[in-house]
Amino acid sequence: MKMKLLHGIAAAALALGAGTAMADEDAELVINGDLEIVTKTDAPAHLEGAVGEIMSGWRFRDSTTQVMQMDDFDNPGMIFVDDARDMWATAEGSEGKSCMDCHGEPEDMAGVKPVYPKWNEAAGEVRTLQMQMNDCRENRMGAETWKYDAGDAVAMEALLASVSRGMPVNVATDGPGQSTWEQGKELYYTRTGQLDLSCASCHELNYGNMIRADHLSQGQVNGFPTYRLKNTKLNGIHSRFKGCVRDTRAETFSAGSPEFVALEMYVASRGNGLSVEGPSVRN
Amino acid sequence: MKRTTIALAAFALGTGMAFADTVAPGNVAFDGYEVAESLTGTPGDPEKGREIMTNKSEGNCISCHAAEAYADVPFHGEVGPMLDGAGDRWSEAELRGLVVNAKMAFEGTVMPAFYKTEGFNRLGDGFTGKAHPEDKPVEPLLNAQQVEDVVAYLKTLTE
């Protein structure tokens, strides 16, 4: 039986080389001519035995899509970043404060995005950047919280990502957040739905392979939020998770749910060492 | 009025009888990873099998498997092996087993079980992302005759 299978695989490898349009997996990402982005590097220690090298989703896109991310004028995601800059400086809520009143310039927040999701000692929980933003809105500004992964929240996350571009993702896998991280890991390897697939089925075992017309990446989140040509808007991490889980014919979790917070923490840590890249461009 | 009712009843019974020969997903008899007995008793139609395998809303085997035999259909996946020659490599009973539940042959494979209705985790209602309603019967990914059609087509993939 093994023999037959090997034969089939060899034949597949032979025939496929020809037809499929591949991304240029050796291209390097430099934004605006000077900002070097690490899109491929050694996997973090916790992935030993699973993945040797980690790669940004950018490497798996075709060259037209790749080029859009090399210049901020060509990156549609940057329009949302500009909107968020305005929001950053706009006072809102009962306290009449803006983000800027407490945090200064958006650039002063460089280094924040790479370590999220992270443990919040006072709250006793792991928080995503969007959860933290909403905490500020509610408790420091007296403003309404933003809907998870919806327009304003994703745009602000994109602004905070953009000022950290080029910095290495560095999500803690130990310490008080470890149990959440473990929960995320469990979810990553759990098969769901009638197709009975886990994240690992596609993004660990099959990255680099085509699944119908899609070139499977490692499903990294260092590029989020991503501007997708498919729906012409910025997309949050949890929305992407939802889409992937739905595609296994499963009942998904919702954006902002504890399950997706844990999964985000774990998936983000699989990209420890890649550069923050958001807002990225994907198809 | 009476007449129609009786006629309808007869019709319903008729189809019921045809279905009686169909092996339900829970009753498929595996010998190892092989399934010798046809699921319907009706020979599969290879033409239909090809359509099912290459159609996105049916078997969608093409999303994972390429084959010269259906090279005219665009976008072949690479997740599974190429299927040319599968009809030489495997017997009909083996192929039926592979389509019904490939996990019987390949432990932990990513290939979905196409004729199975139980044992799923967080089963959804198709591609809606919502939970599958408790009171709605679970449909296998392919029905019994579709499995037979696919097996018949796979048998034609010889080298």
More confident residue, B141 or A21: B141
Cβ atoms of residues A97 and A140 within 8 Å: yes
CB pairs under 8 A between A and B: 117
Query: For the residues B47-55, what does the mean pLDDT come to?
Result: 97
Query: Which among B81, B83, B123 has the least Cβ separation from residue A193?
Result: B123
Helices (H), chain B: 2-20, 46-54, 86-89, 92-101, 144-156
A244 belongs to the catalytic site: yes
A221 CA: distance to closest CA in chain B (Å): 21
**DSSP letters spanning B117-143:** -S--SSBBSTTSSSBPPTTSPPPPSS-
- The pLDDT of residue B78 is above 90: yes
pLDDT > 90 in chain A, percent: 90
A165-180 mean pLDDT: 98
Q: Is residue B19 very low, low, confident or very high in pLDDT (cuts 50, 70, 90)?
A: low
Residue of A11, A197, A209 with shortest CB distance to B82: A11
- Report the C-alpha dihedral over residues B9, B11, B12, B17, rounded to 10 degrees: 120
Of residues B48 and A13, more confidence is placed in: B48
Residue B20: band (very low, low, confident or very high) from pLDDT cuts 50, 70, 90:
low
Partner A contacted by B109 (CB < 8 A): no
Q: Is B57 on the interface with A (CB under 8 A)?
A: no
Which residues of chain B make contact with A249, given a CB cutoff of 8 A?
A: 123-124, 126-127
Mean of pLDDT over chain A: 93
The residues, ordered by sequence, that sit 6+ positions from A151 with a Cβ below 8 Å of its Cβ are: A233, A234
The 8-class DSSP code of residue A275 comes to: B
Single-letter amino acid, residue B10: A
pLDDT of residue A23: 59
Q: How far apart are CA A38 and CA A55, in angstroms?
A: 9
Report pLDDT for A4: 46
Task: Name which of B109, B59, B55, B84 is nearest A13 in CA terms.
Answer: B84
The residue of chain A nearest to residue B89, with distances taken between CA atoms, is: A4
Which residues are registered as beta bridge partners of A92? A97
Residue range A184-188: mean pLDDT, rounded: 98
- Give me the pLDDT at residue A24, please: 65
- pLDDT per residue as tens digits for the range A245-270: 999 999 999 999 999 999 999 999 99
List CB contacts of B29: < 8 A, sequence separation 6 or more: B23, B35, B36, B37
A51: pLDDT strictly greater than 90: yes
- The CB-side HSE value for B119 (13 A sphere, CA atoms) comes to 9
Give the model's confidence band at A26: pLDDT under 50 very low, under 70 low, under 90 confident, else very high: confident
Provide mean pLDDT across the span A65-71. 97
In angstroms, what CA-CA distances link A112 with A67, A209, B11?
Answer: 27, 34, 69
- List the single residue in A11, A194, A205 with the smallest CB-CB distance to B120: A194
DSSP 8-state assignment for residue A121:
T
pLDDT the model gives residue A5: 45
How does residue B41 score in pLDDT terms, banded at 50, 70 and 90? Answer: very high
Residue B57 has pLDDT above 50, yes or no: yes
Token readout for A226 is: 């991503």
What mean pLDDT do residues B5-31 have? 65
Q: Please report the pLDDT score of residue A22 as a whole number.
A: 55
List chain B residues with CB under 8 Å of A20: 76, 78
Q: Provide the whole-model pTM.
A: 0.91
Backbone phi and psi for residue A227, each to the nearest 5 degrees, phi listed first: -85, 120
A132 touches A120 (CB < 8 A): yes
pLDDT at B13 over 80: no
For B131-144, what is the mean pLDDT? 97
Contact B81 A11 (CB under 8 A): yes
The answer to whether A9 contacts B81, with C-beta atoms less than 8 Å apart, is: yes
Residue A142 has pLDDT above 70, yes or no: yes
DSSP tag of A97: B
pLDDT at residue A15, rounded to an integer? 38
What's the mean pLDDT in A13-32?
A: 62
**Closest chain A residue to B103, measured at CA:** A196
Q: A125 has which bridge partners?
A: A120
B12 pLDDT band, cuts 50/70/90, is: very low
- What is the C-alpha to C-alpha distance for residues A22 and B12, in angstroms, rounded to an integer? 53
Strand partners, B34: B31
The whole-number average pLDDT for the span A225-241 is 97
